[in-house]
Amino acid sequence: MDNQINHDNRTVYLKLVMTAMFWGGTFIATRIAAQTFGPFTGAGIRYLFALVLLLPLAFRQNRQLFRIQSAQLPVLMLLGFSGIFAYNYFFFKGLKTIPASRGALLAALNPTIVMILSSLVYKEKITLRKLIGIMISLTGVVIVISRGKVNELLSSLETGDLFMLGCPVTWAVYTLAARPALKQTTPLQATAWASLSGLVMLMLFATTEPFPVDIPAKVWAALLYLGVIGTVVAFVWYYDGIKKIGPTRTSIFNNLVPVFAVIFSVIILREKVSWYTWIGGAMVIGGVLFVNLQARRD
């Protein structure tokens, strides 16, 4: 039995590492798509692609996909609002103006925000070690935003930075909301409901944005990647992790997202990563690892 549990956990861990790699790629794809589409339209097309594949899969797994209890609806709507609508708005708006590498490192605050909200919502204790880790991560974010000139933080702050900081906040809400949702739904069903409700919200606001006339093939490819790989595959595996090992341990793997994103941004987008990005990013990731490596031993 113990061997089976360990094997199952190893499978979950492998899927979460691959999920982090896929999500690292979403920063590159969104950076490309955001130059052509507005945030609501771009994200809406992403989820149109996703649902074409996701809904048949979810319906095949559960013929009662659309039959839910009224008590489940609020939390499923919250998933759609936080993880689909709000997150993607901040994601597209932020990556339209700042490099994918910097955006990924700002979004890496997610485990820290999850930790803080978990303490407020689920009464998880924040120990001295966790507090130190949070401070290290926040210091790293300050270095990245200030471009290495901490005394000029406010003058260095760009609108794109503020939008990207909205990503870890909304994603933390999404992660914590998934915990009660998965007590009564499967990962695939929850993903389908979140995507569908989020898509409706996105489409309502997409009508306010102009639709581009000339759309390069690479933009369609980026949106297809976002929809199929970055949503269907990655979201289902992420939910599976939350269900089997919990939201806090699952969120640890998000530390790998900026690592993959920076690597891909250098290789694919030819971005140059400045010294302050490396140092600040290392502090963001290091601070979270400082907390969670100990948490895993505990």
Q: Model confidence over 133-146: pLDDT tens digits?
A: 878 877 887 787 77
Give the integer Cα–Cα distance in Å for 162 and 157. 8
- Alpha helices by DSSP H, 73-158: 73-79, 87-97, 100-107, 110-121, 128-145, 153-156
Over residues 257-286, mean pLDDT:
84
Give the integer Cα–Cα distance in Å for 262 and 272. 10
69 — pLDDT class (breaks 50, 70, 90): confident
Residue 153 confidence (pLDDT) above 60 = yes
Give the integer Cα–Cα distance in Å for 85 and 128. 35
Q: What is the pTM of this model?
A: 0.81
Residue 93 confidence (pLDDT) above 70 = yes
6 — pLDDT class (breaks 50, 70, 90): low
In terms of pLDDT, which residue wins out, 115 or 202? 202
In terms of pLDDT, which residue wins out, 157 or 244? 244
Contact status, residue 264 vs residue 27, Cβ threshold 8 Å: yes
2 — pLDDT class (breaks 50, 70, 90): very low
**Secondary-structure breakdown of the chain: helix, strand, coil percentages, each rounded to the nearest 5:** 80, 0, 20
What kind and span of H or E run contains 37? none
Average pLDDT, the chain: 83
Q: What angle do CA 205, 207, 211 make, to 5 degrees?
A: 120
Nearest to 50 by CA among 223, 209, 171: 223
47 — pLDDT class (breaks 50, 70, 90): very high
Which residues fall within 8 angstroms of residue 296, CB to CB, at 6 or more apart?
A: 249, 252
